[in-house]
Structure 1
Amino acid sequence: MYALVDCNNFFVSCERTLDPELENKPVVVLSNNDGCVVSRSKEAKDLGIPMAAPAFKYKELFQKYDVKSFSAKFELYNYKSQQVINIAKSYVVDHEVYSIDELFLDLTGFKYIDIHNYCLGIREEIKEKENIPVSIGIAPTKTLCKVANRIVKEFPDKFDGVYMLDTPEKIEKALKWLAIGDVWGIGRKLAAKMNDSGVYKAWDLLQKPEMWVRKIMGIHGVRMINELKGIRQLELDTPSPKKSIAVTRSFMEMLTRKEDVRERVETFGMYCSERLRRQNTCCKIITVFVQTNRFRKDLPEYRNAMTRILSNPTNSSILIGRVVNELFEAIYKEGFHYKRAGVIVNDFVPEDQRQIGLFEEDVQNHHLPVMKAMDAMNKKFGKDKVRLGSMSGENTFGRAKLSPEYEAFLKKNTLPEANFRFH
Structure 2
Amino acid sequence: MDVAYALIDCENFYASCERVFDPSLRERPVAVLSNNDGCVIARSEEVKEAGVPMGAPLFKWEDVLEEIGAEVLSSNYTLYGDMSRRVHSILEADALELERYSIDEAFATLPGLERENLQRLADSIRRKIFRQVGVPVRVGVGPTKTLAKVADENVKARKRAGWGLGTYVCPPEPKREELLRRVPAHDIWGIGSAYEEKLHEKGVVSAAEFSALPDSWIRSEMTVVGLRTAWELRGRSCLDLELVRPDRKTLVRSRSFGERVESKENLRQALAKHAQRTAEKLREEGLVAKGIKVFITTKRFGDPPHYSNGAAGSLPEHIARASAFARASRRLLEPIYRQGLGYKKAGVCLYDIRPARPHQESLFGRGREEDEALTEAVDQINREYGKETVGLAAAGLPGGEGNLEREWTMKRQKRSPRYTTQWDELPVVHA
Q: Is the TM value for this pair above 0.5?
A: yes
User: Which of the numbers 274, 286, 294 marks the counterpart of 1:280?
Assistant: 286
1:350 is displaced (CA, Å) by 2.7
195-204 or 42-51, which deviates more: 195-204
Query: Equivalent residue for 1:387?
Result: 391
* CA displacement, residues 176-203 of structure 1 (integer Å, 9 cap, x when unaligned): 0001111111233432332222111111
The answer to whether the 8 A contact 1:26-1:41 is kept is yes
Report the Cα distance in structure 1 between the residues aligned to 2:133 and 2:345, rounded to whole angstroms: 37
The answer to whether the 8 A contact 2:272-2:392 is kept is no
SS in 1 for 2:309: strand
Query: Equivalent residue for 2:125?
Result: 122
Verify: 1:196 aligned to 2:187, yes or no. Answer: no
Report the Cα distance in structure 2 between the residues aligned to 1:414 and 1:78, rounded to whole angstroms: 16
1:327 is displaced (CA, Å) by 0.5
Structure-to-structure mapping, 1:249-268, within 5 angstroms: 249-268=255-274
1:402 is displaced (CA, Å) by 2.0
Query: Equivalent residue for 1:247?
Result: 253
Structure-to-structure mapping, 1:284-303, within 5 angstroms: 284-296=290-302, 298-303=303-308
Structure-to-structure mapping, 1:215-226, within 5 angstroms: 215-226=220-231
User: Which of the numbers 18, 23, 31 marks the counterpart of 1:20?
Assistant: 23
1:88 and 1:407, CA in 2 relative to 1: closer, same or farther beyond 3 A?
Answer: closer
Which amino acid is the alignment partner of residue 266 of structure 2? D
Structure-to-structure mapping, 1:120-269, within 5 angstroms: 120-156=123-159, 157-238=162-243, 239-269=245-275
Verify: 1:108 aligned to 2:108, yes or no. Answer: no
1:279 is displaced (CA, Å) by 2.0
1:261 and 1:169, CA in 2 relative to 1: closer, same or farther beyond 3 A?
Answer: same
SS in 1 for 2:80: helix
Verify: 1:313 aligned to 2:313, yes or no. Answer: no
389-398 or 66-75, which deviates more: 389-398
Query: Equivalent residue for 1:371?
Result: 375
SS in 2 for 1:246: strand
Which amino acid is the alignment partner of residue 201 of structure 2? D
SS in 2 for 1:131: coil
Query: Equivalent residue for 1:420?
Result: none
The answer to whether the 8 A contact 1:282-1:349 is kept is yes
Query: Equivalent residue for 1:397?
Result: 410
1:113 and 1:176, CA in 2 relative to 1: closer, same or farther beyond 3 A?
Answer: closer
1:3 is displaced (CA, Å) by 1.1
1:170 and 1:193, CA in 2 relative to 1: closer, same or farther beyond 3 A?
Answer: same
TM-score (norm 1): 0.92
Query: Equivalent residue for 1:421?
Result: none
* CA displacement, residues 364-402 of structure 1 (integer Å, 9 cap, x when unaligned): 432232112111221222222110111235484321112
1:413 is displaced (CA, Å) by 7.8
* CA displacement, residues 195-228 of structure 1 (integer Å, 9 cap, x when unaligned): 2221111112123222221232211001000111
SS in 2 for 1:331: coil
The answer to whether the 8 A contact 2:268-2:330 is kept is yes
Which amino acid is the alignment partner of residue 184 of structure 2? A
1:158 is displaced (CA, Å) by 3.4
Report the Cα distance in structure 2 between the residues aligned to 1:371 and 1:84, rounded to whole angstroms: 29
Unaligned runs of 5+ in 2: 399-407, 427-431
1:408 is displaced (CA, Å) by 6.1
CA RMSD of the aligned region, Å? Answer: 2.1
106-115 or 240-249, which deviates more: 106-115
The answer to whether the 8 A contact 1:251-1:339 is kept is yes
1:16 is displaced (CA, Å) by 0.8
Query: Equivalent residue for 1:33?
Result: 36
Which amino acid is the alignment partner of residue 98 of structure 1? Y
* CA displacement, residues 219-274 of structure 1 (integer Å, 9 cap, x when unaligned): 10010001111100011112234121111222122111211111001111111111
Query: Equivalent residue for 2:86?
Result: 83
137-146 or 90-99, which deviates more: 90-99
* CA displacement, residues 107-131 of structure 1 (integer Å, 9 cap, x when unaligned): 1344698111111111111111211
Report the Cα distance in structure 2 between the residues aligned to 1:129 and 1:343, rounded to whole angstroms: 38
User: Which of the numbers 65, 68, 88 marks the counterpart of 1:62?
Assistant: 65
* CA displacement, residues 89-111 of structure 1 (integer Å, 9 cap, x when unaligned): 21123111111111112113446
1:66 and 1:192, CA in 2 relative to 1: closer, same or farther beyond 3 A?
Answer: farther
SS in 1 for 2:47: helix
SS in 2 for 1:313: strand
Report the Cα distance in structure 1 between the residues aligned to 2:418 and 2:86, rounded to whole angstroms: 20
Query: Equivalent residue for 1:94?
Result: 97
Unaligned runs of 5+ in 1: 416-423
Count of paired positions? 411
368-377 or 183-192, which deviates more: 183-192
The answer to whether the 8 A contact 1:288-1:307 is kept is yes
SS in 2 for 1:107: strand
SS in 2 for 1:150: helix
Query: Equivalent residue for 1:9?
Result: 12
SS in 2 for 1:205: helix
Report the Cα distance in structure 2 between the residues aligned to 1:266 and 1:155, rounded to whole angstroms: 49
Runs of 4+ in 1 over 3 A off after TM superposition: 108-113, 393-396, 407-415
